[in-house]
């Protein structure tokens, strides 16, 4: 007897759909052992995550607060993925977006709320876009691998922002903390229900809708899909693939940049150290889990939001390290990639040795 | 007679399609067995079953009398079944020897290069092949690359050699050489499964021929039991191969003129060298030549995929030398590319989406920035109907279609804008007789309506049948121009080899 793998010619549609769900469940199961090892009852811990993230107005609002940047960043990442462009730099693009929006908020002196918010939005869009656009130009003109460029530019962005807030942009009245001065009221997004939940969430939903229409209904979406499916054929059909690579990376970074805008305008009201605790990396997992669909991104971002908020409470009540949440995210991605294998192959037990 | 390979009642289905339905076939040791059939008849599927890429749903494969089950090409290689694919599996930057070494099993971590080289050289000497083991593969002609593929299998001591359309890329002279070698291998007891569409080769070479049609093995005939007419009628199911009436081209109106065109490749060598050509309205101009003598760059430069180094291309009185693929298309040049799967289609997208790839931006399929899905669907239905494309269920990705049907999708798309000029690169390569006839009919119909065609092909029969004039290319130059009514195969063959010039 031995175990062999065999290609499925027809991967089941149903299985394709439930595979991500199974992956999450298996990840939960395996993470259970980690919890057990840390002396925590897994069932209790999971219940607590749900309770904490969804069981109260405060918890739910916090979950949505975390969901917001995740939606933006994941939309950006998944747009690039659709064209087989791997933008690993959403984290840096968030920082650049936050930086651009903060610059406008701090130094433009605009007093009208709508004008200020629009200007901040555009600045974030542009900064995130141009940051990713660098990788776009390098890739389109000299075929430099965008994975490396976007990844490494994360560090430049994060450290660049650190320079500003430790240096020239530091709030003189901030007791030497690495943060800028508070924004004026004109530069704040509306908050609801006396919580930190802000209108950036609705902007994220709107953005998802626009992106869905863009990909599925417009001529440009069609072009992106053709290029993603076969770049040579796209060139042969007269599409300007170089321009498309730049445009898609620009847009991808710009949307991730909006996440930075949401964080400073809606939440922190200033630029500070660690403005994103790795949303840009989580976005990669989300884009993959969501199979790059805009609706999927919204749902999965929410689930990740639950996990982040719930994970925080685990830290508080059980003194678990934050690394647990990251480990859990890693497990999900791991099982998800594994599930891709099982979508296309099946395991089979055969008797004897068939290899002549 | 004990058979080396016996295939019994193999059945293989894909979603919605029966690719192989009850195929039986046997191959004896020391036999050249030819598999003949239209595209979609199941030849490729059968090959993929034999080389372990697909698993049959039903039926049995016996090798040396013992039943075998393959899970991967590795398993089939292990029992001694090897295949020379249409698309070579070689590493261009490596040397001939390194490529052969890659194919061998059980080479120890530290090995004696000399010993292995000696071994390979013995095979070469034995077959009287002149091949330098230290040459990098990219330097070699297509014909020489094919030898490497064959030697890879011989070095592994494969007992059954499968050759998929091996002569498609060879000159008549090279083909003859290949047949010589195959016959010699046969006489030494190797079994050869040969796939071809070319009747003449089949007649010349085979000990037995099996005709496949619609996934069934129709009949196996021994040498002497078949002739050209019988095989053709078995394959396409009618007794007569229709001959199309060639349109008389008046040569009064110039459609395209190429003046002193040169193209250099990345290594600085000339792909096209001072090339001159005139194409008249309604003319079918055949371009003969061994693959790799500038035909592809010619097509690419005409369709805007490559830039000319010097020289000019004139369409009427318009200079179209350097324009992008799209503006060429608008200027009226359509292109059927050589490598349909790698550049002709977006494999994951639907047939409908692929049909509009060239004119997705036109007002026909677009409302402002949005695509007009209804118009795209309507266009797909019309084209599928008009060109008899077997497209499968609605929304089927184009990669599930057979080669012939993919080619039809490309042709339907290219001809939909009523182009003034069609550049067709090997438009019937790998197609079955039925599909090939259809492509020919489309080209002739187009010519009758005033479309000019540059027909680049290695199939002399096709060129002789369709062309008003045949030009021959060698090393990027035009070395000859012959009248198809008067020329002979031998004359063209000699021109192709670069030995004479007219």
Q: Which two tokens stand for residue A328?
A: 């859990």
Residue B225 to residue B208: CA distance in whole angstroms:
9
Would the CB atoms of A236 and B337 count as touching at under 8 Å? Answer: yes
Interface of B with A (CB under 8 A): 14-15, 54-55, 63, 66, 68-69, 71, 75, 78-79, 303-305, 324-327, 329, 335, 337, 342-349, 353, 357-358, 360-361, 366, 369-371, 373
3-class secondary structure per residue, chain A: CEEEEEECCCCCHHHHHHHHHHHHHHHHHHHHHHHHHCCCCHHHHHHHHHHHHHCCHHHHHHHHHHHHHHHHHHHHHHHHHHCCCCCCCHHHHHHHHHHHHHHHHHHCCCCCHHHHHHHHHHHHHHHHHHHHHHHHHHHHHHCCCHHHHHHHHHHHHHHHHHHHHHCCCCCCCCCCCCECCCCCHHHCCCECCCCCCECHHHHHHHHHHHHHHHHHHEHHHHHHHHHHHCHHHHHHCCCCHHHHHHHHHHHHHHHHHHHHHHHHHHHHCCCECCCCCCHHHHHHHHHHHCCCCHHHHHHHHHHHHHHHHHHHHHHHHHCCCCHHHHHHHHHHHHHHHHHHHHHHEEEEEECCCCCC
Instruction: Sort out which chain A residues have CB atoms less than 8 A from B326's CB and list them.
Output: 237-238
A226 → closest Cβ in B66, B79, B357: B357
Q: Which segments of B131-171 does DSSP mark as H helices, in order?
A: 142-155
Average pLDDT value over all residues in chain B: 82
* H/E run at residue B231: helix B228-236
Residue A181 to residue A179: CA distance in whole angstroms:
7
What is the DSSP code (8-state) at residue B145?
H
Residue B301 to residue B335: CA distance in whole angstroms:
11
Q: Which of B37-46, B200-209, B308-317, B344-353 has the highest mean pLDDT?
A: B344-353
Residue B272 to residue B25: CA distance in whole angstroms:
47
Domain boundaries, chain A: 67-319
- A4 to chain B, any CB pair closer than 8 A? The answer is yes
Would the CB atoms of A238 and B329 count as touching at under 8 Å? Answer: yes
pLDDT score, position A268: 92
Name the pLDDT band for B324 (thresholds 50, 70, 90).
low
- A351 to chain B, any CB pair closer than 8 A? The answer is no
pLDDT score, position B386: 84
Domain boundaries, chain B: 5-236, 254-496
Residue B222 to residue B28: CA distance in whole angstroms:
12
Instruction: Sort out which chain A residues have CB atoms less than 8 A from B344's CB and list them.
Output: 233, 236
pLDDT score, position B230: 74
Nearest CA in chain B to A239: B326
For residue A96, is pLDDT > 90? yes
Q: How far is B354 from chain A (nearest CA, A)?
A: 9
pLDDT score, position A133: 96
pLDDT score, position B241: 42
Name the pLDDT band for A331 (thresholds 50, 70, 90).
confident
For residue B496, is pLDDT > 80? no
Select from B346, B364, B374, B395 the residue whose CB has the most chain A CBs within 10 Å, as the one to mutate to test that interface: B346
- The CATH fold assigned to B5-236 is Rossmann fold (3.40.50)
* H/E run at residue B358: none
Query: Which contacts qualify for B222-231: CB closer than 8 Å, 24 or more apart?
Result: B227/B203, B228/B199, B228/B200, B228/B203, B231/B36, B231/B199, B231/B202
pLDDT average, residue stretch A255-269: 95
Instruction: Sort out which chain A residues have CB atoms less than 8 A from B71's CB and list them.
Output: 4-6, 354
pLDDT score, position A356: 35
Instruction: Answer whether B5-236 and B254-496 agree in fold.
Output: yes
Percent of chain B topping pLDDT 90 = 6
Q: Per residue in A35-65, pLDDT tens?
A: 888 888 888 888 888 888 888 899 999 999 9
More confident residue, A125 or A45: A125
For residue A355, is pLDDT > 70? no
- 3 state SS of B54: coil
Query: Which contacts qualify for A20-25: CB closer than 8 Å, 24 or more apart?
Result: A20/A289, A20/A291, A20/A336, A20/A339, A22/A335, A22/A339, A23/A289, A23/A332, A23/A335, A23/A336, A23/A338, A23/A339, A24/A289, A24/A303, A24/A332, A24/A335
For residue B366, is pLDDT > 80? yes
Q: How far is B300 from chain A (nearest CA, A)?
A: 9
Name the pLDDT band for B295 (thresholds 50, 70, 90).
confident
Name the pLDDT band for A1 (thresholds 50, 70, 90).
low
Q: Per residue in B465-492, pLDDT tens?
A: 888 889 988 888 888 888 888 877 777 7
Q: What is the CATH number of domain A67-319?
A: 1.10.3470
3-state class percentages of chain B: helix first, strand second, coil last, to nearest 5: 35, 25, 40
Average pLDDT value over all residues in chain A: 88
Please give the CATH superfamily to which domain B254-496 belongs. P-loop containing nucleotide triphosphate hydrolases (3.40.50.300)
Rounded to two decimals, the ipTM of the complex is 0.78
The pTM assigned to this predicted structure is 0.72
What is the DSSP code (8-state) at residue B397?
B
Tally the residues of chain B: 502
Name the pLDDT band for B195 (thresholds 50, 70, 90).
confident
Per-residue buried b or exposed e for A236-265, using 16+ beta carbons within 10 Å of the residue's own CB: bbbbbbeebbbbbbbbbbbbbbbbbbbbbb
For residue A323, is pLDDT > 70? yes
């Amino acid at each position: 007897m031995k175990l062999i793998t065999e290609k499925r010619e027809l991967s089941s549609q149903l299985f394709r759909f439930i595979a991500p769900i199974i992956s999450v469940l298996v990840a939960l199961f395996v993470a259970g052992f980690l919890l057990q090892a840390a002396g925590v009852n897994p069932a209790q811990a999971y219940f607590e995550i749900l309770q904490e993230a969804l069981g109260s107005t405060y918890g739910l609002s916090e979950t949505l607060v975390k969901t917001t940047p995740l939606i933006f960043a994941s939309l950006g990442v998944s747009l690039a993925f659709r064209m087989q462009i791997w933008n690993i730099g959403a984290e840096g693009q968030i920082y650049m977006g936050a930086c651009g929006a903060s610059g406008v908020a701090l130094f433009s002196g605009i007093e009208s709320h709508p004008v200020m918010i629009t200007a901040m939005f555009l600045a974030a869009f542009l900064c995130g876009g141009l940051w990713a656009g660098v990788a776009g130009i390098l890739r389109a003109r000299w075929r430099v691998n965008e994975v490396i460029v976007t990844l490494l530019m994360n560090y430049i962005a994060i450290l660049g922002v650190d320079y500003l807030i430790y240096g020239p942009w530091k709030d003189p009245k901030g007791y030497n903390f690495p943060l800028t001065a508070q924004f004026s009221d004109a530069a704040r997004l509306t908050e609801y229900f006396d919580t930190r939940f802000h209108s950036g969430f609705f902007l994220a939903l709107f953005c998802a809708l626009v992106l869905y229409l863009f990909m599925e209904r417009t001529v440009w979406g069609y072009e992106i899909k053709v290029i993603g499916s076969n770049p040579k054929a796209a060139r042969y059909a007269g599409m300007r693939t170089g321009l498309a690579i730049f445009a898609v990376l620009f847009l991808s970074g710009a949307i991730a940049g909006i996440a930075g805008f949401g964080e400073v305008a809606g939440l922190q009201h200033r630029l500070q150290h660690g403005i994103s605790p790795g949303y840009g990396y989580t976005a990669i997992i989300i884009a993959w889990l969501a199979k790059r669909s805009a609706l999927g991104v919204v749902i999965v971002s929410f689930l990740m939001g639950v996990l982040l908020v719930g994970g925080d409470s685990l830290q508080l009540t059980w003194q678990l390290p934050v690394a647990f949440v990251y480990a859990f995210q890693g497990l999900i991605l791991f099982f998800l990639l594994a599930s891709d294998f099982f979508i296309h192959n099946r395991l089979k037990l055969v008797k004897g040795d068939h290899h002549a | 007679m004990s058979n080396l390979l016996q295939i019994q009642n193999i059945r293989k289905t894909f979603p919605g399609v029966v690719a192989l339905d009850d195929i039986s076939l046997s191959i004896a040791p020391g036999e050249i067995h030819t598999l003949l059939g239209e595209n979609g008849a199941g030849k490729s599927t059968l090959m993929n079953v034999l080389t372990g890429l697909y698993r049959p749903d039903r039926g049995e494969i016996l090798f040396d009398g013992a039943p075998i089950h393959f899970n991967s090409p590795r398993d089939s290689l292990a029992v001694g079944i090897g295949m020379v694919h249409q698309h070579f599996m070689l590493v261009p930057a490596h040397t001939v020897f390194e490529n052969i070494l890659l194919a061998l099993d059980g080479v120890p971590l530290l090995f004696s290069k000399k010993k292995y080289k000696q071994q390979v050289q013995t095979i070469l000497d034995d077959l009287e092949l002149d091949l330098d083991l230290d040459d990098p593969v990219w330097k070699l002609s297509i014909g020489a690359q094919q030898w490497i593929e064959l030697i890879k299998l011989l070095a592994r001591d494969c007992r059954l050699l499968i050759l998929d359309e091996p002569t498609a890329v060879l000159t008549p002279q090279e083909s003859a050489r290949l047949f010589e070698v195959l016959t010699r291998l046969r006489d030494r007891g190797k079994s050869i499964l040969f796939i071809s569409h070319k009747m003449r080769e089949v007649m010349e070479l085979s000990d037995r021929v099996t005709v496949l049609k619609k996934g069934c093995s129709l009949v196996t005939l021994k040498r002497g039991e078949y002739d050209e007419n019988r095989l053709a009628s078995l394959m396409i199911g009618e007794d007569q191969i229709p001959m199309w009436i060639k349109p008389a081209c008046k040569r009064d109106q110039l459609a395209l003129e190429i003046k002193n065109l040169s193209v250099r490749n990345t290594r600085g060598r000339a792909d096209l060298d001072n090339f001159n050509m005139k194409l008249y309205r309604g003319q079918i101009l055949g371009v003969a030549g061994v693959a790799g003598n500038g035909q592809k760059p010619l097509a690419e430069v005409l369709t805007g995929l490559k830039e000319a180094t010097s020289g000019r291309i004139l369409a009427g009185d318009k200079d179209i030398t350097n324009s992008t693929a799209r503006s060429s298309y608008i200027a009226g040049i359509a292109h059927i590319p050589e490598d349909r799967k790698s550049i002709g289609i977006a494999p994951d997208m639907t047939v409908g989406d692929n049909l509009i790839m060239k004119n997705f931006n036109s007002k026909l399929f677009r409302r402002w920035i949005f695509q007009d899905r209804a118009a795209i669907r309507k266009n797909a239905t019309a084209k599928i109907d008009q060109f008899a494309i077997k497209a499968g269920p609605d929304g089927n990705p184009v990669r599930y279609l057979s080669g012939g049907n993919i080619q039809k999708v490309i042709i339907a798309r290219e001809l939909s804008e009523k182009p003034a000029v069609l550049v067709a690169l090997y438009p019937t390569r790998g197609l079955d007789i039925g599909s090939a006839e259809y492509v020919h009919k489309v080209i002739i119909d187009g010519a009758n309506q005033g479309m000019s065609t540059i027909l680049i092909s290695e199939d002399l029969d096709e060129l002789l049948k369709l062309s008003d004039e045949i030009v021959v290319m060698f090393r990027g130059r035009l070395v000859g121009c012959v009248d198809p009514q008067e020329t002979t195969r031998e004359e063209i063959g000699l021109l192709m080899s670069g030995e004479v010039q007219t």
